């Protein structure tokens, strides 16, 4: 019997992954947790308030629900982390260490932890960055991800903990608002376009970044967690890739449906973060080891978002 605990369940990935895991494992077998109050996506199932730095409470919840699987998603994203260096280090590192330590002590069957393209720095290959490129990040967030990957590999090697991880590109979903990441302009842009507002982009027009639609991110996570353990050759974190585009390209994709949409480029400190990351990622090892394959192109994603987001915005504003 699977008993799943998710941390950071109110976040961009967490809210959508929770819904999918509830579908797969049953509402009564998925315990969503977050430091903040449950949001609307959590109304259907079990929810507990949890600060992952509160190890005693974390332990109590694992014990209370007899947890067998953890998805540890609570973290500060790149742009927020640059502004809150100590908080980011404390949360991103100690949250993971608490998770790994409790998972080992309570013999949790499987743990998932998200890494990021932010592990790469200016000395990594810019295009189709291979799995084994140098990982010398220039951001605090990136440093926590490189260290986290090594901790995951350590717990696997030393204690046999089945911890699995993906280096997500920028994740784009329409169900929740941006969460303080550098790639989050590509979430915000759709909200502005649907509301008929001008979009001020904090990156320059030609700043290409690896990205992925949320449904592909959820699929990748579930597929990796379902993969046979003996097929997995990477115990730090897997490169995965879906689409890569610049702000100008996403704006043009939106203009196909909303011709009057306009964008202005006003790069700020986040441009420097973006410039230190790859333009695109080579994910051939994930494809080989667990048959990874994305479904969404840029235009397909735009179409899907523009089909659903207007209703969601209307519903939210009528509730206000
Ligand atoms: N989406 C993340 C960020 O921008 C990168 O993993 O922080």
Choosing from 71, 141, 174, 238, the catalytic residue is: 141
Q: How confident is the model at residue 319 (pLDDT cuts 50, 70, 90)?
A: low
Residues carrying CATH 3.90.25, the chain: 172-210+243-280+296-319
Residue 307: CB atoms within 10 Å = 11
Atom of ligand 1 nearest to the CA of 78: 7
pLDDT for res 316: 74
Classify domain 4-171+213-239 at the CATH topology level. Answer: Rossmann fold (3.40.50)
**Spacing, Cα 275 to ligand 1 middle (Å):** 13
- Using alpha carbons, select from 274, 164, 264, 292 the residue that is nearest to residue 208: 274
Atom of ligand 1 nearest to the CA of 81: 7
Top mutation candidate among 120, 149, 182 for ligand 1, by most atoms within 8 Å of CB: 182
Catalytic: 238? Answer: no
Rounded (10°) CA dihedral 298, 302, 304, 306: 180
Residue 305: CB atoms within 10 Å = 27
6 strand-pairing partners = 32, 71
Residues carrying CATH 3.40.50.720, the chain: 4-171+213-239
Contacts of 212 (CB under 8 A, 6+ apart): 168, 169, 170, 171, 172, 220, 240, 241, 242, 243, 294, 296
Condensed to tens digits (0 to 9), the pLDDT of residues 281-290 reads 999 999 999 9
Residue 43: CB atoms within 10 Å = 8
Condensed to tens digits (0 to 9), the pLDDT of residues 60-115 reads 999 999 999 999 999 999 999 999 999 999 999 999 999 999 999 999 999 999 99
User: If you write DSSP's letter for every residue of 237-281 in order, what string do you get?
Assistant: -EE---EEE-HHHHHHHHHTT-TT--EEE---HHHHHHHTS-SSB
Structure tokens at 87: 């908080």
What is the reported pTM? 0.95
CATH number among 1.10.720, 1.20.120, 3.90.25, 3.40.50, domain 172-210+243-280+296-319: 3.90.25
Q: How confident is the model at residue 312 (pLDDT cuts 50, 70, 90)?
A: confident
Q: How confident is the model at residue 256 (pLDDT cuts 50, 70, 90)?
A: very high
**Spacing, Cα 80 to ligand 1 middle (Å):** 10
Q: Atom 6 of ligand 1 has which residue's CA nearest to it?
A: 116
Tell me the C-alpha distance between 307 and 94, whole Å.
Answer: 40
pLDDT for res 42: 66
The reply to whether ligand 1 has any atom less than 6 angstroms from the CB of 274 is no
Atom of ligand 1 nearest to the CA of 273: 4
Q: How confident is the model at residue 178 (pLDDT cuts 50, 70, 90)?
A: confident
The reply to whether ligand 1 has any atom less than 6 angstroms from the CB of 183 is yes
Q: How far is CA 89 from CA 85, 86, 208, in A?
A: 6, 5, 27
The reply to whether ligand 1 has any atom less than 6 angstroms from the CB of 170 is yes
Whole-angstrom Cα Rg for the chain? 19
């Amino acid at each position: 019997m699977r008993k799943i605990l998710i941390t950071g369940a109110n976040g961009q990935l967490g809210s959508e992954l929770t819904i999918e895991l509830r579908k797969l494992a049953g509402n009564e077998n998925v315990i969503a947790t977050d430091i903040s109050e449950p949001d609307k996506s959590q109304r259907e199932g079990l929810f507990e308030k949890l600060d992952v730095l509160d190890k005693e409470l974390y332990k109590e919840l694992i014990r209370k629900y007899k947890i067998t699987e953890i998805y540890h998603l609570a973290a500060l994203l790149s742009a927020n982390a640059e502004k809150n260096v100590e908080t980011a280090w404390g949360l991103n590192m100690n949250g993971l260490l608490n998770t790994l330590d409790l998972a080992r002590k309570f013999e949790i069957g499987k743990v998932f932890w998200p890494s990021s393209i932010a592990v790469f720095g200016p000395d990594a290959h810019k295009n189709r960055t291979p799995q084994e490129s140098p990982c010398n990040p220039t951001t605090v967030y990136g440093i926590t991800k490189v260290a986290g990957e090594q901790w995951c590999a350590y717990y696997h090697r030393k204690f046999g903990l089945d911890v699995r991880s993906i280096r997500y590109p920028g994740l784009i979903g329409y169900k929740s608002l941006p969460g303080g990441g550098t790639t989050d302009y590509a979430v915000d842009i759709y909200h502005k376009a649907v509301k008929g507002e001008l979009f001020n982009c904090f990156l320059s027009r030609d700043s290409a970044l690896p990205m992925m639609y949320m449904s592909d991110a959820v699929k990748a996570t579930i597929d990796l967690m379902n993969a046979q353990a003996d097929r997995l050759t990477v115990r730090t974190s897997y490169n995965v890739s879906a689409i890569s585009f610049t702000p100008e390209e996403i704006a043009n994709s939106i203009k196909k449906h909303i011709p009057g949409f306009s964008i202005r480029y006003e790069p700020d400190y986040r441009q420097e973060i973006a410039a230190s990351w790859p333009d695109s990622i080579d994910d051939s090892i994930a494809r080989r080891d667990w048959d990874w394959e994305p479904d969404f192109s840029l235009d397909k994603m735009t179409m899907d978002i523009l089909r659903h987001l207007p209703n969601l915005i209307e519903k939210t504003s009528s509730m206000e």
